[in-house]
Structure 1
Amino acid sequence: MDAMKFDDKTEEALGILFEQFWVLRSEEPTAYQMIREREHRLKRYLADKFGFDLIIHQHFIKLEKLPVDPKSWMGIQDFTEPMDYAIFCCGLAFTERRSVDEQFLLSDITEDIEEVYPGEFPLDWTNYQHRKSLVRALTKLAELQIIKTVDGDLELFATNEDEEVLYEVTVYARYFMRSYPDDLFQYNSMEEILASEWSRHKSDERRKRVYRKLMFSPVVYREGEEDPDFNYIRNFRNRLGRDLEEHTPLRLEVFKNAAMLVLQERKQRYTLFPDQKAIVDIALHLSAHIRTVLDRMSVNEMGEMRLTFPEFEQLIAEIKDEYGHGWSKKYRDSTPRQIKTDLISLLAEWELGYVEVDTGIMVLQSGFGRIVGHYPDDYLQREG
């Protein structure tokens, strides 16, 4: 274990590894070199605290990241249908069977994908939705630089199934998929795949679970009275906090029902809340407003507030009257019901709230109570 505090460059290198899928030497030579020069310290720390493998290749560097609990935001956000993922995986299978720098036509890969596609119904490229799904999948393959466009425009395929594009297989094609302890065909579910990961970490599974949860989740919540992961955070909060502050720019905050990592100052390297979306302003105003009306709110033992949709819309109407003059035009012109839809999506994405499937009740989680937002004084003075 490397107990020494990371210097600024090593800390930055760690942030790059967590924020990016991989670092390609041809695209980011400076970042590649910075990580390469510090690989031994990084490898020791990542293996000891997270149980992660750091792959150093002559063409790229990749941190194999596997969460404790998969979340929807961890997927490919450009994909809109399960078909997108299926076609993407079929495309990966096609490229893995080709040699580096081998060229192929769009018609070659579409024919291969048709043959191996596992869906209940066959693909039909005369179907516009199927073509759009293929465009999304191949666009992502190109963005990840698994394939390279040599000639042609894939977007034209969306409107014409006879359109051709010339591609080339890159050196990265065989390294996108991570390695598993056993053949994938031996697993029957996602849960089995996740469980197999911990067979390598039996002696220190709890610590690695906690580090992964803290680093990958906006908030880690206490799940009942006997939550071993949260109890570990509470019992070792000082040691965890000190270690994270010595190796990252993050600070650990622990409350009765929630724990989270926060940044003292915004760093562009990290994905953070709040971000620049207009709906975030409304979320911050809602949290500030709730503090002023706590006497009419009920909070359970887990720090959660439960609201019906009419009650939630009423709160939105109240903050619109108070803060709406500074909102974006879209939300100034929107009704509370319209704003509610976007607000629910935002809160769910950042694990600050959710809608119960069975009851339709809006649940604001305890992490939401840790944020607040007001207009700056100069804005209020200027606007009167």
Structure 2
Amino acid sequence: MRHGRSRGEREELQQAARLLLSRPWVTKEQQPEEYRLVHRHQHALRDWFQKMAGWALVVTSEIAKLEKQPAVHRPWMRIDEFLHPRDYALFAYALWFLEGRQREEQFLLSELIDAIGEESRRNGDELDWTNYDHRLSMVRALKKLRDLGVLQAVDGEENAWARDDTQNVLYEATRLARYVMNRFPRDFASYQTIDELYEADIFMGSDGSSEWESWATAHRRHRVIRRFLVEPVVYDADFSEEERRYVQTQRSFLVDRIEQLTGLMGRRFREGLLFTWPDLRGEFEWFPGESTLSDVCLLVANVLVERIREKHASLAPAEHGRYHVPLGELEALILELRNIHGPRWSKELREKAVAALTRDVLAMMSEWHLVAWDGADVWLLPALSRYVGAYDGELAQEEGSDGAAISTVSRGAF
């Protein structure tokens, strides 16, 4: 990516990069202005993402899609609407069926489930459409495809079929089906491990000339940059020794390149390199968010950080800047906070059992990599101290603190 761009060009490029990072794709029909923006900057975007992250940018006359593949798979990367592994399998089977359909071609739900049933039997998968749970899995997969714009319902709706398998639905295919799955150099079924996806030895230079680079060198850079772009927080301890050494020695390079393209601001702390957004831009999922549960997480973090500073007996230091706290201690703290601040909380959180509320808080904080949770043991992770909050200016500041606003982290979309 060339230097010397005007401020307007740089802002446009960053906006285009954020669109690609925060959405599955951008379509010309549904988002014409956003599509034109990406199309205009496609060469710079393609060069950067290919060289720095190993991601391919696909731009056609209809769609722009960044084929994002995470370096590490996390639970929050799931499809929230899916409740069973079977939902994912049926989602993939439906895409297989749709890839053979023409744009605006219409078909019945009965045709789709017959084809999926036959193909699944060939693959050794057991599906029984008389089973209500199996029908519900199919319904969840179909609804997700409709939400993505891959499938359109013309007449009827899936829930009626879930209740009564004699019901039918008329659908219309779109051309997005062929772009949902990422492309790979060989048949996907031939891959045995995630690392086999990084099999290429040749990486082309951003200027179009051949730039031969060892697989290990490119693989290391790709894994590191993918994690910074996708995951909300990555600590030095999360990296392999080789990756950690790369992050520590190439900090300026990484911060400069990522900020140039995305606008993310990188800052080095003792436990790692943290990237945050200077303001709320793009369509990412944010922390802290607007939910009451997010507020509760900030309140809990504030008290825990104060107790760490006071060397509270219940908090035991551990390796890599972590602190251990018993689950019972955390439940007692949340109950105390609810007694104080309950009127400001939602009715659901006020009335929920404290054990269940504690689980919700830990689930949110662990997904944002602020705590680690294993049964009755909770470990506070270093970034927790960056995300504290209180009501009505009650936030205690360390001596010498500038009282700056809480930084915002995001999670990428796939």
Larger deviation, residues 223-232 vs 239-248:
223-232
Match of 1:186 in 2: 190
Q: Which moved more, 1:240-249 or 1:49-58?
A: 240-249
Query: In the alignment, is the contact (CA less than 8 A) between 2:18 and 2:282 conserved in 1?
Result: no
1:122 deviation in Å?
2.7
SS in 1 for 2:126: coil
SS at match of 1:272: strand
CA displacement 1:298-326 (0-9 Å, x = unmatched): 22121112222212212223333443342
Structure 2 residue 223 is matched with structure 1 residue 209: yes
Q: Percent identity?
A: 30
Within 2, Cα distance between the matches of 1:113 and 1:11?
Answer: 41
The separation in 2 between residues aligned to 1:112 and 1:4, in whole angstroms, is: 55
Shift of 1:209: 1.8
The question of whether the paired residues in 1 share the 8 Å contact of 2:150 and 2:173 is answered with yes
Q: Distance in 2 between matches of 1:258 and 1:369?
A: 13
What secondary structure sits across from 1:265 in the alignment?
A: coil
Q: Distance in 2 between matches of 1:378 and 1:311?
A: 22
**Which residue identity does 2:336 align to in structure 1?**
E
Q: Assess, with a 3 A threshold, how the Cα gap between structure 1 residues 193 and 154 changes in structure 2: closer, same or farther.
A: farther
> 1:20: how far off?
0.5
Q: How many residues align?
A: 376
Q: Which residue of 2 aligns with 1:105?
A: 108
Any gaps of 5 or more consecutive residues in structure 1? 380-384
Cα distance between partner residues in 1 of 2:338 and 2:202: 52
Is residue 142 from structure 1 mapped to residue 156 from structure 2 by the alignment?
no
Which residue pairs with 1:382 in the alignment? none
Q: Counterparts of 1:101 and 1:208 in 2: how far apart (Å)?
A: 38
1:157 aligns with 2:161: yes
Q: Kindly state the Cα deviation for residue 121 of structure 1 after the two structures are TM-superposed.
A: 6.3
Task: Report deviation, 1:216.
Answer: 0.6
Query: C-alpha separation between the residues in 2 aligned to 1:360 and 1:116?
Result: 44
Q: Is the 8 A contact 1:258 1:367 kept in 2?
A: no
1:220 aligns with 2:223: no
TM-score (norm: length of structure 2): 0.84
Deviations 1:273-301, CA, capped at 9 Å, x for gaps = 11112111111011110122221222212
> What root-mean-square deviation, in Å, do the aligned CA atoms of Structure 1 and Structure 2 show?
2.4
CA shift for structure 1 position 98: 2.6
Instruction: Kindly indicate whether structure 1 or structure 2 has the higher relative contact order, using CA contacts under 8 Å at least 6 residues apart.
Output: 2
Task: Summarize the Cα distance change of 1:85–1:230 in structure 2 as closer, same or farther, 3 Å threshold.
Answer: same
Residue 343 of structure 1 aligns to which amino acid in structure 2?
Answer: V
Structure 2 residue aligned with 1:70 = 73
Contact 1:304 1:366 survives alignment (8 Å): yes
8 Å CA contact 2:16, 2:38 repeated in 1: yes
SS of the aligned residue for 1:167 comes to: strand
SS in 1 for 2:288: coil
- What pairs up with 1:268-279 in 2 under 5 angstroms? 268-279=282-293
* Aligned residue among 54, 57, 71 for 2:57: 54
Distance 1:238 1:35 in 2: 27
C-alpha contact 1:352 1:365 (8 A) present in aligned 2: yes
Aligned residue in 1 for 2:384: 368
Summarize the Cα distance change of 1:310–1:252 in structure 2 as closer, same or farther, 3 Å threshold. Answer: same
> For residue 344 of structure 2, what is the aligned residue in structure 1?
326
TM norm structure 1:
0.90
For 2:270 and 2:391, locate their aligned partners in 1 and report how far apart those are by CA, in whole Å.
Answer: 29
Q: Displacement of 1:59 after TM fit?
A: 0.8
Q: Is the partner of 1:48 in helix, strand or coil?
A: helix
SS in 1 for 2:285: coil
Residue 120 to residue 256, structure 1, CA distance change in 2 (3 Å): farther
| Partner secondary structure for residue 287 of structure 2 | coil
Alignment partners' CA distance in 2, 1:163 and 1:124: 16
Q: 1:235 aligns with which of 249, 274, 288?
A: 249
Amino acid at match of 1:374: A
Q: Secondary structure at the match of 2:267?
A: strand
Contact 2:370 2:380 in 1 (8 A): yes
Gaps of 5+ in 2: 204-212, 396-414
Moved more, 229-238 or 294-303: 229-238
Residue in 2 aligned with 1:2? 2
- The CA distance in 2 between the partners of 1:351 and 1:277, in whole Å, is 18
Q: C-alpha distance in 1, partners of 2:326/2:352?
A: 20
- Looking at structure 2, the residues matched to 57 and 305 of structure 1 have their Cα atoms a distance apart, in angstroms, of 50
Q: 2:254 aligned with 1:250, yes or no?
A: no
* Per-residue deviation, 1:187: 1.7
Which residue identity is paired with 1:371?
Y
Structure 1 range deviating more: 320-329 or 122-131: 320-329
CA–CA distance in 2 between the matches of 1:111 and 1:279?
43
Q: Is the 8 A contact 2:23 2:283 kept in 1?
A: no
1:301-380, aligned counterparts within 5 Å?
301-356=319-374, 360-377=376-393
State the Cα distance separating 1:92 from its structure 2 match: 1.2
Deviation at 1:75, TM superposition (A): 2.3
Counterpart of 2:237 in 1: which secondary structure? Answer: coil
Counterpart AA for 1:263: W
State the distance in 2 between where 1:310 and 1:378 align: 25
For 1:196 and 1:33, the matched residues in 2 are separated by 33
CA contact (8 A) 1:289 1:319 kept: no
C-alpha displacement of 1:248: 2.1
Counterpart residue number, 2:136: 132
